[in-house]
Amino acid sequence: MTYEIATLRGDGIGPEIVDEAVKVLRAVAEVVPGVDLEFTLLEGGADYYAAHGELAPATTWKTMESAHAILFGSMGHPDIRMPDGTEAQGHFIVNARKKFGLYAGVRPIKFYPGAKGLDPSQKQVDLVLVRESTEGLFASFGGGAEITGEVYADTMIITRKGTERVARYAFELARTRNGRPRDGARHVTCVDKANIFRSLAFFREVYDGVAAGYPDISSDHALVDSFAMLLMQHPERYDVLVTENMFGDILSDLAAALVGGLGLAPSGDIGDDHAMFQPAHGSAPDIAGQDRANPVATILSARMMLDWLARRHDDDALRAAADLLERSVVATMESGALTVDLGGTLPCSRFGDAVAATVRELGAETGR
């Protein structure tokens, strides 16, 4: 089976990091029998908006909807804004999440060799934050209320359906993992502000109802303010986290500091029928075109894409491909081949070359 990957290179460093992810995926397809990927390059982004007055042509949205998965680079530029003053890329990403039902923002936070986290000796970091991506405070995106230029309001929206499905996703994900680093227990933590906001007390109530259906997975709650501190102090206590949209947006960037920064933070926006994979970081226009970006987050997002496709289509070849890609990133970084931001010497393109070479090397060993 040929899998069509709708591929948006985006703005800033987006084209550079997407090219490296595609390079590595092509290497994986070369060495894993039965893996056939077709990359359809699509237009869209802040630069496209500046030139054409729309974020993407209709053909881009159509192909995103029909493709098997979406691989997405960084998008946006702080100087390219919509008439309401907001940045262009948010409108593309939020609208894509709503249009395709991408309710689970899945953001793995994992320590990789050579990374420099907040505490270099702290390597017990392997958690996943699941962010509800269609509701919460982001439900007001593009709307909200304004009174005579003096009063503005955005409303947080929490629904039973939205909370149930993202909580269920978190528990199902926990069943596939090895548990929290501290003791191996498969565990889900609901992060909220239920002591203050009725909407988040409801979020917790619905979460508890879902948790009751997973007696094999332990669960608890945490208030987002104190949790932010505990996450930094004791990341080994956590396995899967599930939270409201805005909290997830903030906490996932914070957690990336534990493992060396956003250059090592992949993500996927996942729904029942569609999924979009992209690095958690922005477009970094200040270093665009200089071959200085770290493509690890994008390459690992591509691994997430292979894993999602494997589960969706029950494809063992894709499972093997996802595993090979992960092992190749680890082996490359263990060898000391690192980008400049991690203290290494490799530019973006040469790091991609190194991972692709490792894919072929490990793939050849596996096939013997």
Counting residues of the chain whose pLDDT is more than 70, the rounded percentage is 97
79-114 pLDDT tens trace: 888 887 778 777 888 889 999 999 999 999 999 988
Residue 155: exposure state from Cβ atoms within 10 A (0-12, 13-18, ≥19): exposed
Residue 253 has pLDDT above 60, yes or no: yes
pLDDT (tens digit per residue) in 175-195: 999 999 999 999 999 999 999
Across the range 344-348, mean pLDDT stands at 96
- CA atoms of 197 and 201, how far apart (whole Å): 6
C-alpha 170/C-alpha 173 separation (Å) is 5
pLDDT band at 367 (very low <50, low <70, confident <90, very high): low
Q: Residue type at 241?
A: L
Please report the domains of the chain, with CATH numbers, ordered by start residue: 1-103+273-368 (3.40.718.10), 117-259 (3.40.718.10)
3-state secondary structure string across 325-341: HHHHHHHHHHCCCCEHH
Query: Is the C-alpha dihedral spanning 272, 275, 280, 285 positive or negative?
Result: negative
Between 120-129, 165-174, 265-274, 311-320, the lowest mean confidence (pLDDT) is in 120-129
Q: Give the pLDDT score at 368.
A: 40
pLDDT tens-place string over residues 41-66? 999 999 999 999 999 999 999 999 99
